[in-house]
Homo-oligomer: A and B are copies of this chain.
């Protein structure tokens, strides 16, 4: 076995999920994630945990949903499983990212609604989701299989303890701050963040962070003023959006444009009132992620970028009793902090030219 697969499994079990002896661990294995699943099984055996593997087959899901009339019964047995489980590890690794493309949307939605209690029970365990590099995911990223594997392991196999310390410094600065200003090519945006709490997303349940890789610090802005250009392309509901620009006044998007995909952006902004406001300011700090791969879970963690989400804010960032932006959507848009850029906290630069002031040159 590739040593990197073994290291990935150990990072997942020890750093991310903090598995203890005797824990009941559910491992969800996607069709293409077998090799990682074998390594995870070894790590769980070594730690003395219990292992139940479930099979996350997109082709089974497609066949099941296409045959079903959409009137779903409660999934009591599966809910009970997660109610009793301590940890859930999702090993994503598709063999075809379009495998469920021909499932009718109404059946898919009815299935999701009927399984809300299963999902809640699963999210109440110490859950972590990770990605095993497959040929299908390499294809989606526009990369060769070998290059994609390098890319994923560079992102996953970090010195997480050290990164968590560094991200803790950024969190402290944001927690204490009233205002963050982002200055870059096509961007001069001021966000008020007073009273909000930042999350140190260090790829571990100990940090309330549930994706491996992670590597970002994020908070929920109260309001925003200025202009921003997103030069990292993103895919919104199947449409590629490039070089989107927003003008915000008193927290609301008042003007917008995009080099491509402008109508998709328009549809997005029209979803509801909250879709025109920002729910998240995130600062990417994973230095293993050096290029976008059209997968927002990686792209938004890229070191030297910041991202802003249109729509819903995360509860973890809000003081008790306060609601942030509420919306049916949460769509991340990403901008590179290139040459000449600055990230200022209460007027004090913490990043210049895409590098934090405490980094060497």
A122 CB → nearest B CB, Å: 12
Tell me the complex Cα distance, A57–B37, Å: 9
Selected from B45, B55, B73, B86, the residue in CB contact (under 8 A) with A21 is: B73
Given the contacts A54-B53, A54-B54, A63-B45, A77 and B81 also touching, CB distance less than 8 Å = yes
What are 25 A-B contacts defined by CB distance under 8 Å? A31-B34, A37-B55, A38-B57, A38-B59, A38-B60, A41-B63, A41-B64, A44-B64, A45-B63, A45-B64, A45-B65, A46-B67, A46-B68, A50-B73, A50-B75, A51-B60, A51-B64, A52-B75, A52-B77, A52-B78, A52-B81, A53-B55, A53-B56, A77-B85, A80-B84
Residue of chain B at shortest CB distance from A56: B53
Q: Are A68 and B45 in contact (CB under 8 A)?
A: yes
Which A residues lie at the B interface, using CB under 8 A?
A: 21-22, 24, 26, 29, 31, 34, 37-39, 41-46, 48-57, 59-61, 63-69, 71-78, 80-81, 83-86
Option from B45, B52, B63, B86 in Cβ contact (under 8 Å) with A38: B63
Q: A34-B57, A53-B57, A55-B37 are in contact. Are A64 and B42 (CB under 8 A)?
A: yes
Q: Of B42, B48, B77, B80, which contacts A71 at CB under 8 A? A: B48
List chain B residues, Cβ under 8 A from A54: 52-55
A68 to chain B, nearest CB (A): 4
